[in-house]
């Protein structure tokens, strides 16, 4: 057996799959180690991909040559555009996935990659030699060498499951945790913390009375995650909605002492933006009810996911909570909800390339760095895998600025901010969200992916064809001028608009109330045009987009000012004490990164700029000084 690789990826979840695929695509001999090879790409919590902020990540992963979007398109049960009635900046695609099909698809895909070897095994130690990574040691003694290691352990590091006051060691229900690796990481000098997440109960769909429940259908027609052409069109399944009742809330409030979170037995911090039902009832006591969604888990199973009902209350209480919900009065619970507590590594110990600052060749991504969600994990895994391969090949790192992508925003937030809870991506995280829409992820990132070797010839050809079609249609709209007629004004009247003088089609489309579909009625293109949202958004929001581009340019000026690695911040008296401590600990690479660190004020940034200029002048004087002085 070959025990020598370029890159070793620890973990077979969403981050691990993207990392292994990226490293292999860039030509590295890659080993992916998983505790259980039958759960590669598993969806242990909500079997869904996308949503606000998250669909943007999936589209960016796809634009860079990743695989999550392709897998989601191949295995969806339902596709739905969230925030469809709002602006393009916050519109977000969401897929309800078939969890069994998704995992099976992902395993088949990973097994098909020529440069990837899959192996079942638990890592107990990270090995280093001469200050650099040298490989890993498995639980049963094998030592495997590699120049780079990517840790994507998810919730498995010293994982513990809680249901009421009962607990057991597990990375997730039914799977044993990774034991011992946390001790090794601490011995290597890493700081570890403790986080918590949870999952709702699963219900036997045959015991649910859907007759009185609101239906949540998929979109027809619908969008896809991947920018590749000819995505599979599948029959969609409906979801349904129910709500908590006064009985539900009374049950929860009467049994809070049985919750390990509220009794103090769980010490890990849970996700603020995906709270348990206990948290919802306590924190939003003024609300009479909370919405739950009944989402099928697959075409070949009757299990239904009760989205919104994450809890760690005892099983007996869970049965009563389920029975208190409309439509579920006689429903049977198939799997109980539970909380899982696990070790993680604060990402401030890593660079923007997701490589450890003090251990060259060691990379990490996913929940191990303090995030929640499959999409966040996939984006980090992709970036860690790319940079691990570039490290092995002695090439420059690949770092996306936050102004370029949600992926860049995600990584920048993780490595520059000290987060006390699991990080979840949302559209509000980005100050440039009008530029960073899901529809233009390929326009923003596919050229960069092509440059580093992640984008295939077929994807590149498809991308260029799309770009040419958009440019041609934009030119047609600019150059086609029309005169007002009765027929044209009848079309425009549908939107309370009218033409009084000659105008180009582009000028008409700039009007807020006039959609592209009306232009098709007035003057159709020679061929059906598919990229309506991209073109319409660029034209209607041109002024706002240009303003954000100006803001990006201003921000990039600071991001272009490098900070010396040996800067002694503790001696800078004009910095506030908190800024000195944060800068010394986090060691930002640029002034822009320093400005985004919590506790660093605009005044502190000015001090840094003055110090840099003073250092430059001093260096120039030293260069001019005669030898020997």
pLDDT in tens, 300-309: 999 999 999 9
Which CATH code is given to the segment(s) 202-339? Answer: 2.40.30.260
pLDDT of residue 266: 67
Q: What is the mean pLDDT of residues 423-432?
A: 90
Laid out side by side, the sheet with 30-34 consists of: 116-120, 30-34, 7-10, 148-151, 362-364
The arrangement of secondary structure in 7-198+342-450, i.e. its CATH architecture, is: 3-Layer(bba) Sandwich (3.50)
pLDDT of residue 153: 93
pLDDT of residue 629: 54
Q: Where in the chain is the domain with CATH 3.50.50.60?
A: 7-198+342-450
Task: Look up the pTM and report it.
Answer: 0.91
pLDDT of residue 271: 66
Span 349-381, pLDDT tens digits:
999 999 999 999 999 999 999 998 999 999 999
Tell me the chain's radius of gyration from C-alpha atoms: 26
pLDDT of residue 263: 65
Span 512-567, pLDDT tens digits:
999 999 999 999 999 999 999 999 999 999 999 999 998 888 888 888 888 888 88
Q: Nearest Cα to 102, choosing from 17, 199, 222?
A: 17
Q: What is the mean pLDDT of residues 310-314?
A: 92
Q: Nearest Cα to 385, choosing from 371, 370, 356, 365?
A: 365
Q: Nearest Cα to 224, choosing from 75, 344, 88?
A: 75
Q: What is the mean pLDDT of residues 439-448?
A: 97
Give the residue ranges of DSSP H helices in 423-561.
Answer: 441-452, 457-479, 486-493, 505-510, 516-522, 532-540, 542-559
pLDDT at position 445 over 80 = yes
Domain 560-624: top CATH class: mainly alpha
pLDDT of residue 486: 93
According to DSSP, the β-strands at 7-10 and 148-151 are: parallel
pLDDT of residue 144: 96
Q: What percent of the chain has pLDDT over 90?
A: 71
Q: Tell me which residue has tokens 């690479």.
A: 589
Q: Is 265 exposed, middle or buried (0-12, 13-18, 19+ CB in 10 A)?
A: middle
Laid out side by side, the sheet with 338-344 consists of: 166-169, 160-163, 338-344, 193-199
**What mean pLDDT value characterizes the chain?**
92
pLDDT of residue 2: 61
pLDDT at position 491 over 90 = yes
The Cα–Cα gap between 305 and 80 comes to 17
- The fold of the 456-547 domain, in CATH, is Arc Repressor Mutant, subunit A (1.10.10)
**Distance from first CA to last CA of the chain, Å, rounded?**
61
Among 17-21, 67-71, 175-179, the range scoring the smallest mean pLDDT is 175-179
Q: Nearest Cα to 11, choosing from 318, 273, 439, 385?
A: 385
Q: Nearest Cα to 309, choosing from 330, 324, 287?
A: 324
Q: How confident is the model at residue 405 (pLDDT cuts 50, 70, 90)?
A: very high
Structure-model confidence comparison of residues 235 and 420, the more confident one = 235
* Backbone CA torsion sign across 249, 255, 261, 264: positive
For residues 116 and 20, the answer to whether their CB atoms sit within 8 Å is yes
pLDDT of residue 184: 95
Q: Is 238 exposed, middle or buried (0-12, 13-18, 19+ CB in 10 A)?
A: middle
Q: Where in the chain is the domain with CATH 1.10.10.1800?
A: 456-547
Q: Could you tell me which residues come within 8 angstroms of residue 113 by beta carbon, excluding any fewer than 6 positions away?
A: 20, 21, 24, 25
pLDDT at position 575 over 90 = no
Span 99-141, pLDDT tens digits:
999 999 999 999 999 999 999 999 999 999 988 999 999 998 8
pLDDT at position 268 over 80 = no
Residue 155: both structure tokens together: 């919730």
Q: Where in the chain is the domain with CATH 1.10.150.570?
A: 560-624
The Cα–Cα gap between 155 and 404 comes to 29
Angle, CA 229 vertex, CA 223 and CA 235 arms, to 5°:
50
Q: What is the mean pLDDT of residues 178-200?
A: 92
pLDDT of residue 628: 60
Neighbours of 266 (CB within 10 A): 21
């Amino acid at each position: 057996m070959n025990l020598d690789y370029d890159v070793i990826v620890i973990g077979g979840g969403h981050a691990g799959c993207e990392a292994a695929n990226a490293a292999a695509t860039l030509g590295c001999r890659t080993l992916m180690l998983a505790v259980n090879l039958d759960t590669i790409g598993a969806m242990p919590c909500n079997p869904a991909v996308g949503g606000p902020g998250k669909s943007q990540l999936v589209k960016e992963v796809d634009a860079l040559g990743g695989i999550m979007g392709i897998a989601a398109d191949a295995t969806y049960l339902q596709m739905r555009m969230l925030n469809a009635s709002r602006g393009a900046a916050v519109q977000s695609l969401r897929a309800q996935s078939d969890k069994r099909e998704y995992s099976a698809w992902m395993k088949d895909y990973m097994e098909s990659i020529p440069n990837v070897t899959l192996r079942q095994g638990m890592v107990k130690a990270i090995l280093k030699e001469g200050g650099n990574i040298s490989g890993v040691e498995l639980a049963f003694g094998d030592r495997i060498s590699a120049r780079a290691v990517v840790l994507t352990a998810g919730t498995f590091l010293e994982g513990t499951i809680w249901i009421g006051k009962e607990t057991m060691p597990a990375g997730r229900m039914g799977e044993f945790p990774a034991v011992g690796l946390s001790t090794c990481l601490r011995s290597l000098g890493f700081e570890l913390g403790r986080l918590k997440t949870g999952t709702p109960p699963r219900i036997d769909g045959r015991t649910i009375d859907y007759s009185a429940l609101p239906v949540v259908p998929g979109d027809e027609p619908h969008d896809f995650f991947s920018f590749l052409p000819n995505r599979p069109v599948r029959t969609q399944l409906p979801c349904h909605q129910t709500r908590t009742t006064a009985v539900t809330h009374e049950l929860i409030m009467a049994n809070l002492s049985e919750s390990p979170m509220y009794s103090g037995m769980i010490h890990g911090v849970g996700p603020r933006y995906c709270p348990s039902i206990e948290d919802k009832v306590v924190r939003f006591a003024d609300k009479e009810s909370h919405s739950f969604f009944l989402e099928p888990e697959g075409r070949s199973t009757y299990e239904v996911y009760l989205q919104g009902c994450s809890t760690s209350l005892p099983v007996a209480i869970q049965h009563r909570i389920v029975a208190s919900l409309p439509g579920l009065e006689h429903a049977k619970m198939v799997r109980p909800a539970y909380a899982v507590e696990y070790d993680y590594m604060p990402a401030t110990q890593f660079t923007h390339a997701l490589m450890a600052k003090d251990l060259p060749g060691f990379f990490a991504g996913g929940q191990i760095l303090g995030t929640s969600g499959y999409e966040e994990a996939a984006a980090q895994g992709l970036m860690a895998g790319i940079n691990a391969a570039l490290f092995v090949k002695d090439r420059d790192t690949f770092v996306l600025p936050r102004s370029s992508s949600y992926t860049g925003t995600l990584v920048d937030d993780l490595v520059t901010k000290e987060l006390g809870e699991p990080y979840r991506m949302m559209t509000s995280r980005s100050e440039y969200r009008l530029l960073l829409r899901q529809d233009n992820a390929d326009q923003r990132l596919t050229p960069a992916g092509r440059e580093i070797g992640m984008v295939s010839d077929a994807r590149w050809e498809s991308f260029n064809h799309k770009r040419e079609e958009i440019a041609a249609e934009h030119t047609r709209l600019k150059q086609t001028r029309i005169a007002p007629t009765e027929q044209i004004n009848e079309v425009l009247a549908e939107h309370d608009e009218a033409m009084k003088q000659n105008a180009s089609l582009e000028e008409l489309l700039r009007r807020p109330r006039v959609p592209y579909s009306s232009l098709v009625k007035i003057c159709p293109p020679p061929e059906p045009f598919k990229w309506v949202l991209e073109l319409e958004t660029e034209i209607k929001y041109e002024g706002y987009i240009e303003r954000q581009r100006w803001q990006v340019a201003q921000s990039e000026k600071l991001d272009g000012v490098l900070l010396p690695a040996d800067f002694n911040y503790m001696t800078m008296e004009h910095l506030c004490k908190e800024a000195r401590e944060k800068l010394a600990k986090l060691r930002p690479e640029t002034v822009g990164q320093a400005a985004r660190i919590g506790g660093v004020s605009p005044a502190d940034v000015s001090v840094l700029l003055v110090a840099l200029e003073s250092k430059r002048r001093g260096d120039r004087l030293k260069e001019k000084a005669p030898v020997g002085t």
